[in-house]
Amino acid sequence: MIDAPRASLDFAPARVDTETLPGGGFILRSPMELDPYASNLCEHLTDWAERTPDRKFLAERDPEGRWRGISFGEARDLARSIAQALLDRGVTPDRPVMILSDNGIDNGLLQLGAMHAGVPVVPTSPAYSLMSRDFGKLKHVFGLIRPRLVFAADGQMFAKALDALDLEGVEVVVARNPPEGPGVTAFAALAGTAPTEAVDAALSQVGPDTVAKILFTSGSTGLPKGVLNTHRMLCSNQQAIAQIWPFITRRPPVLVDWLPWSHTFGGNHNFNMILRNGGTLYIDAGKPAPGLVEKTVANLRDVAPSLYFNVPRGFDMIVPYLEQDETLRDRFFSNLDTIFYAAAALPQNLWERLEALSVAARGEKVVMTSAWGATETAPLVTGVHFPIDRAGVIGLPAPGSELKMIPNAGKLELRVRGPNVTPGYYKREDLTREAFDEDGFYKIGDAGKLADPDGPRRSRQGNSVRRPRRRGLQAPDRLLGQHGDAARRRHRRRRPRHPGRRGRRP
């Protein structure tokens, strides 16, 4: 271990209440009440557009490699224009918007525009369109949701995928390089629509239980399932994060982030954190893969993030660049509050290399954090909001989340209840019924244990308990025979996953 001071952050106190259940189980809750939260995500955009209309909200590289960005004020106005265009086209909750392409400003604006119109958006994994030969998963999602409008940023790139779909009655919208054939609309046409009072009327009907988006699980063991994500889920989860991480409300966060918006880690946890807290998201077109990680490195040379989210594979690929380039290293750590890892356990040697880099750059260890959750929980259930010195700790329940731990096959099965939990699966009432127990807890399919082997101990705060040595929960296992994909997999020791990945690697 490196002998150096650790940076400090404004965290909520690390406390948890426990309720004992018959049979040896218990329920963990935060003693902190969940504060009121927005009725819908659009309220956050409107709020920041009024308070800081010129602050940069989203930025991306243009085709020439220069950064282009839009402010909160511009994003609010464009989202209203897009909402009007969707209303004019008869897009409805029964015929929503489907997005094929990866992260981008136009992608984000279309999502926000759909939410203003009260229409669900369905961001699908680009791999369904670009890496499949038979487009089986893409066709499954398309046939299930029956979209009224399909968006692809680059029409030529997604031409084969579009040709594989029955597009009768479906409008195709592209931002550039339209595919051959008639009937393709330019994204600029949507963004150039003049909004009317119809947008205000539609937005007034958008409430906490309105479906904001439908996120499809990766479907590695079968066809993807559509997880309903309501505004209540998304807004309550961001409120909970802000309460355990109050430092993100003190100054606007800055992200350089590649994590895909078709998954809950990037699309809910990260994107919505920027939206809720008035920060700036620099969209990273890189990936943790040879030939693409170089884009991430170039972006980190330009922008010093205040929060850095990644998966272990991503850290594994950027750490050598940081070790070989002092200027890049010092730039990366210059504005950094915390490094957040998820999707799998961060190897301890990689953890120590990151700490060594931080000490070399600024004389102290950067704060390392993690969390645990799922697509069905919007995503965060537990989060680290206290100092930790090793990987594998997933924190304590966030405000509003209840974590039931019950004995099952020699382990403690984890189940979740709270405003951040999905009401169910799109057009799959059978799966929805199976997903919840008799008390309304979502059966997530993981098993966990307390990081302190002595278990919860009652403190002077009554039922509030502390983890005197290694607070919180350890990374979960998958549990054989439980709901969803886990029931069809051989049980083996799993590494912790990022919020939203049902135990799968990226």
- Joined together, the tokens standing for residue 301 give 């040379």
Instruction: Using DSSP, state whether 248 is helix, strand or coil.
Output: helix
Pair (148, 273) in one structural domain: no
One domain, residues 56 and 156: yes
Structure confidence at residue 478 (pLDDT): 59
Looking at the structure, do residues 389 and 462 belong to the same domain, yes or no? yes
Do 331 and 421 have their domain in common?
A: yes
Alpha carbon 447 to its chain centroid, in Å, reads: 22
Does 355 map to a domain?
Answer: yes
Instruction: Give the integer Cα–Cα distance in Å for 502 and 374.
Output: 6
Integer Cα distance of 217 and 371 in angstroms: 19
Tokens read off for 257? 């982030």
- 24 and 72 both lie in a single domain: no
Going by their DSSP bridges, the two strands 307-310 and 338-341 should be labelled as: parallel
CA distance 147 to 98: 6
Q: Which residue stretches of 176-311 are H helix?
A: 187-191, 197-204, 231-244, 264, 271-277, 293-302
Residue 502 located in a structural domain: no
The CATH code of the domain that includes 134 is 3.40.50.980
Q: What percent of the chain has pLDDT over 90?
A: 82
Shared domain for 345 and 264, answered yes or no, is: yes
pTM for the whole structure:
0.91
**Which tens digit of pLDDT belongs to each residue from 51-101?**
999 999 999 999 999 999 999 999 999 999 999 999 999 999 999 999 999
Task: Examine the domain organization and report whether 180 and 271 are in the same domain.
Answer: no
Distance (Å, rounded) from C-alpha 355 to C-alpha 236?
Answer: 32
Same domain, 160 and 293: no
- Mean of all residue pLDDT scores within the chain: 90
Residue 128 lies in a domain: yes
Tokens 């008639």 belong to 182
Structure tokens at 422: 């999905």
Is residue 501 included in any domain, yes or no? no
Residue type, 244: I
**Does one domain contain both 261 and 366?**
yes
Same domain, 172 and 234: no
Q: Inform me whether the pLDDT recorded for 459 exceeds 70.
A: no
Burial label for 429, CB within 10 Å (0-12, 13-18, 19+), is exposed
The total of structural domains in the chain comes to 2
Same domain, residue pair 28 and 59:
no
pLDDT at 221: 63
- The parent domain of residue 168 ranges over 41-206
- Domain contains 215: no
Whole-angstrom Cα distance, residue 375 to residue 366?
28
Within-domain flag for 121: yes
- CATH number, position 323: 3.40.50.12780
User: Are residues 128 and 66 located together in one domain of the fold?
Assistant: yes
Statement: residue 489 has pLDDT above 80: no
Residues 203-239 pLDDT 10s: 999 999 999 999 999 756 689 999 999 999 999 999 9
Per residue in 126-180, pLDDT (tens digit) is 999 999 989 999 999 999 999 999 999 999 999 999 999 999 999 999 999 999 8
